[in-house]
Amino acid sequence: MPRKVDADERRRHVVEALFRVAVRDGLARASLRTVADEAGLNIGSLRHYFASQSDLMRFAMRAMLEQVGERMRHGLADLAGQRGAPAAQRIRTAGKLLGELLPLDDVRRAEVTVFLDFAALARTRPDLHDLADEAARGSRTAVRRILAYVTGLSPRARALDVETERLLSLLDGLGINAVLHPDLVTADDAVRVVDAHLRALAR
């Protein structure tokens, strides 16, 4: 069975092309043809790796979610070892961790930008429902764990219900506004807002 090219490598390459198109022109314009062009591939080749548009979209979104999830998991793992740290330091590490969900550099800016389009699109695309739900649940439990770390409460504490939703919505809105209105909300602004929230929470 001949295989001169690494299929996984190719798929990654295509996903990167899709991201560039989506950031530049919007996810709606990331068609098979435009993505193939951006990747320097013929549409026939692209379709050899992705059977349909839905396949391509799902694969790309999965790749993004796993990329963010991986970073989050790494950060969360480090959390266990410093449960007794002073409040000021816990707030700092929590802020650093939550920053993974904010557009603080080009990579994360692209992630948030594409995710915004993706979330909006998934609302009316049944084939994307499961991924959108998975993302929503994943970010919720991550934020909840971070809140448990900051407050010292158990992750199962009822008191974290509204606080989780509060912080998560804050992060989502902050990221979106930073992406949509970079002149009104800079990366520094976003960090300041999260920091203020955590400090207010620690009282």
Partner DNA sequence: CGAAAGCTATCACAGCTGTGATAGAAAGGT
Partner DNA sequence: ACCTTTCTATCACAGCTGTGATAGCTTTCG
**Which partner, DNA, a copy of itself, none, binds residue 171 by CB below 5 to 8 Å per kind?**
a copy of itself
Q: What's the CA angle centered on 184, arms 195 and 124, to 5 degrees? A: 90
Q: Count the Cβ atoms, other than its own, within 10 Å of residue 101.
A: 23
Angstrom distance (rounded) from CA 203 to CA 198: 9
- By CB neighbour count within 10 A (0-12 exposed, 13-18 middle, 19+ buried), where does 76 fall? middle
Query: Which 65-124 residues touch DNA, going by CB under 7 A?
Result: none
Query: Which 87-146 residues touch a copy of itself, going by CB under 8 A?
Result: 113, 116-117, 119-124, 132-133, 136-137, 140
Among 174, 187, 198, 202, binds a copy of itself (CB under 8 A): 174
CB of 82 or CB of 169, closer to a copy of itself: 169
C-alpha closest to that of 15 among 48, 61, 66:
61
**Which partner, DNA, a copy of itself, none, binds residue 65 by CB below 5 to 8 Å per kind?**
none
Candidates 52-60, 89-97, 143-151, 187-195: pick the segment binding a copy of itself (CB under 8 A). 187-195
Q: Does the footprint of DNA cover residue 154 (CB under 7 A)?
A: no
**Which partner, a copy of itself, DNA, none, binds residue 60 by CB below 5 to 8 Å per kind?**
none
Query: Which 13-72 residues touch DNA, going by CB under 7 A?
Result: 29, 31-34, 41-45, 47-49, 52-54
Which tokens sit at 53? 């548009």
Q: What's the maximum distance between 2 C-alpha atoms anywhere in the chain?
A: 64
132-141: long-range pairs with CB below 8 Å, 24+: 134/65, 135/65, 138/65, 138/69, 138/72, 139/101, 139/168, 139/171, 140/164, 140/168
From the CB of 76, what's the least distance to a copy of itself, in Å?
A: 20
Interaxial angle between packed helices 53-79 and 7-25, expressed in degrees from 0 to 180 and rounded to the nearest 10: 90
Residues contributing to the site for a copy of itself (CB under 8 A): 24-26, 28-29, 113, 116-117, 119-124, 132-133, 136-137, 140, 162-163, 165-166, 168-174, 176-177, 179-181, 184-185, 189, 192-193, 196-197, 200, 203
